[in-house]
């Protein structure tokens, strides 16, 4: 009998094979006229972003404040990379269409830092790092102003379908607090969600005991994407066959890639909602007013795409 781990691996493999099959089924539509065909490989360093992430303003929300006030975390600069290839078919001298296959890193880093006085004097820091790996299949319309020029303006726009290949979501909380007559304590809590596992580590503030657990997701917190892409820049012609396209490329996802009903098991139960957050370890869930349960995450990225384009059109057929 297959284990759940093998099932998840096989499911992901089937998804990748499905996209490969779509790509190779559509490829002949582009290649039937080889004289109008070109291929391109490229890399794209990019700045990525997701939606807002909310945290409780005070860590000690349960002490005289049973319904916490939530605030937005600050977004930190998040850099990822995309790598891929395109097959392009020229409709006429200036216009064409492309089919591609792209590995794209997405995600966002968050940071919250706050000094507050509640029941104690506290300094609270919360950080979250979300890394998402996608396989994008884009279909785009392309335009070049002057194909014969050494340097020419280029433009591209279209849509993409994205399959989630993997993810890693790391969250950490640190609260240093002082109380009259009591030694200062340093509360630490961290968690890592990756694939099917949800690992938690917590240091109890008063006696220094530690607690750790590994839970299993019933429903993972992230999913696939569908979106829009737009790029503009210049193409530098080196020879009749070889060009260097350089573009500023922007993409935005239409799909909410956050699975708001994501659940993990704990003690044999699967009613633990991941997006409610678990700021104190098991048994101290944030109340249902956490905005993270309802606010969407949308992938977006802007980057500099640098490619190598090879024109398959033979000189005799120009």
d(CA 218, CA 236): 50
The pLDDT of residue 123: 75
- Pairing outcome for strands 79-90 and 37-49: antiparallel
Contacts 24+ apart (CB under 8 A), 236-241: 236/150, 236/151, 237/148, 237/149, 237/150, 237/151, 237/152, 240/311, 240/315, 240/318, 241/310, 241/311, 241/312, 241/313
Of 305, 308, 310, 309, residue with least CA distance to 82: 305
The pLDDT of residue 201: 80
- 214 pairs with which residues across the strands? 199
The pLDDT of residue 63: 46
The pLDDT of residue 4: 46
**Dihedral angle of Cα 107, 113, 117, 118, to the nearest 10 degrees:** 10
The pLDDT of residue 137: 96
d(CA 78, CA 106): 9
- 295 pairs with which residues across the strands? none
Could you list the pLDDT tens digit for every one of the 318 residues in the chain?
A: 444 444 455 555 555 555 555 555 555 555 555 568 999 999 999 999 999 998 877 665 544 455 667 889 999 999 999 999 999 999 999 999 999 999 999 999 999 887 766 556 667 788 999 999 999 999 999 999 999 999 999 999 999 999 999 999 998 888 776 665 556 566 777 889 998 888 888 776 656 677 788 888 888 899 999 999 999 999 999 999 999 999 999 999 999 999 988 888 866 555 677 887 655 444 444 556 678 888 999 999 999 999 999 998 655 444
**Dihedral angle of Cα 56, 57, 58, 62, to the nearest 10 degrees:** -40
Q: Where are the domains of the chain?
A: 4-317
Is the pTM of the predicted complex or chain greater than 0.85? Answer: no
Answer whether 97's CB lies under 8 Å from 117's CB.
no
Answer whether 199's CB lies under 8 Å from 211's CB.
no
Answer whether 165's CB lies under 8 Å from 12's CB.
yes
d(CA 191, CA 157): 39
d(CA 83, CA 41): 8
The pLDDT of residue 276: 74
Q: pLDDT digit string (tens) for 68-110?
A: 678 899 999 999 999 999 999 999 999 999 999 999 999 999 9
Q: b/e map of 161-171 (b: 16 or more CB within 10 Å)?
A: bbbbeebebbb
Q: Which residues contact 315 (CB under 8 A, 6 or more apart)?
A: 240
The pLDDT of residue 29: 52
Give Cα separations from 114 to 57, 73, 177 (angstroms): 8, 10, 12
d(CA 72, CA 78): 17
The pLDDT of residue 45: 98
Q: Which residues contact 237 (CB under 8 A, 6 or more apart)?
A: 148, 149, 150, 151, 152, 243
CATH architecture of the domain with residue range 4-317: Beta Barrel (2.40)
């Amino acid at each position: 009998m297959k284990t759940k781990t093998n099932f998840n691996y096989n499911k992901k493999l089937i998804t990748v094979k499905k996209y490969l099959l779509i790509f190779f089924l559509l490829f002949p539509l582009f290649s039937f006229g080889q004289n109008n065909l070109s291929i391109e490989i490229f890399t794209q360093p990019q700045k990525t972003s997701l939606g807002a992430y909310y945290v409780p303003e005070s860590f000690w929300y349960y002490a005289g404040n049973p319904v916490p006030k939530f605030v937005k975390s600050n977004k930190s600069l998040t850099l990822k990379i995309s790598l891929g290839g395109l097959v392009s078919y020229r409709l006429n001298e200036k216009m064409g269409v492309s089919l591609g296959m792209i590995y794209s890193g997405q995600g966002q880093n968050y940071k919250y830092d706050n000094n507050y006085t509640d029941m104690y004097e506290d300094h609270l820091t919360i950080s979250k790092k979300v890394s998402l790996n996608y396989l994008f299949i884009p279909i785009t319309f392309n335009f070049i102003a002057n194909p014969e020029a050494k340097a020419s303006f280029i433009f591209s726009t279209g849509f993409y379908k994205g399959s989630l290949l993997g993810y890693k979501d790391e969250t950490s909380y640190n609260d240093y607090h002082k109380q009259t007559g009591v030694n200062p304590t340093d509360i630490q809590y961290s968690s890592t969600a990756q694939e099917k596992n949800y690992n938690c580590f917590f240091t109890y503030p008063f006696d220094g005991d530690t607690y750790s657990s590994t839970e299993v997701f019933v429903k993972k917190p992230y999913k696939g994407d569908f979106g829009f892409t737009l790029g503009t820049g210049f193409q530098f012609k080196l020879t009749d066959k070889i060009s260097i396209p350089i573009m500023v490329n922007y993409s935005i996802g239409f799909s909410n890639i956050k699975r708001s009903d994501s659940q993990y098991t704990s003690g044999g139960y699967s009613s633990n909602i991941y997006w409610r957050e678990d700021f104190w370890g098991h048994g101290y869930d944030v109340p249902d007013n956490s905005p993270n349960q309802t606010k969407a995450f949308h992938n977006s990225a802007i980057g500099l795409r640098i490619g190598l384009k090879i024109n398959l059109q033979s000189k005799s057929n120009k």
